Amino acid sequence: HGATEVEETGTEALPRRTPAPAWPPTAKGEEGDFCLRSSDCAAGLCCARHFWSKICKPVLREGQVCTRHRRKGSHGLEIFQRCHCAEGLACRLQREHGPADTSRLHTCQRH
């Protein structure tokens, strides 16, 4: 017989090349995607720290809790950063309607 059997797999034997990941990404990152800066994220999202990496998170809407930074640079100490308030909103101390205004909570509010 002397003929060698050729195994047919139905696919051509082409060298596998995995494309290098494109950076910066060609498409804007969606919520939860890794990023380096906010411009890497889709509209309505910002790039914020989540543990020891950064991901795209939603920009805050009216009434949502926000973080007010007293000192410049303190933002870098957080491991769960929040995005900034959406356009037209500011991060302000929430006004409580009770007798004791003890809440230190800040929310996004209209200017």
Q: What is the CATH number of the domain that holds 102?
A: 2.10.80.10
Q: At which residue do the structure tokens 């973080």 appear? A: 67
The pTM score is 0.65
Residue 53 lies in a domain: yes
What's the number of domains the chain is made of? 1
**Which range has the top average pLDDT, 19-33, 34-48, 76-90?**
34-48
Nearest CA to 24 among 35, 32, 16, 15? 35
Residue 16 lies in a domain: no
Identify the pLDDT of residue 21: 57
* Lowest mean pLDDT, pick from 13-17, 23-27, 40-44, 84-88: 13-17
Question: Is residue 20 situated within a structural domain?
Answer: no
Spatial separation of the C-alpha atoms in residues 108 and 94, rounded to whole Å: 9
Per-residue pLDDT reduced to its tens digit, 72-101: 655 556 789 999 999 999 999 987 665 555
Whole-angstrom distance, CA of residue 78 vs CA of residue 58 = 17
CA–CA separation, 25 and 59 (whole Å): 20
* Domain that residue 81 falls in: 33-70+77-110
94 part of a folded domain: yes
| 4 located within any domain | no
Contact 29, 45 (CB under 8 A): yes
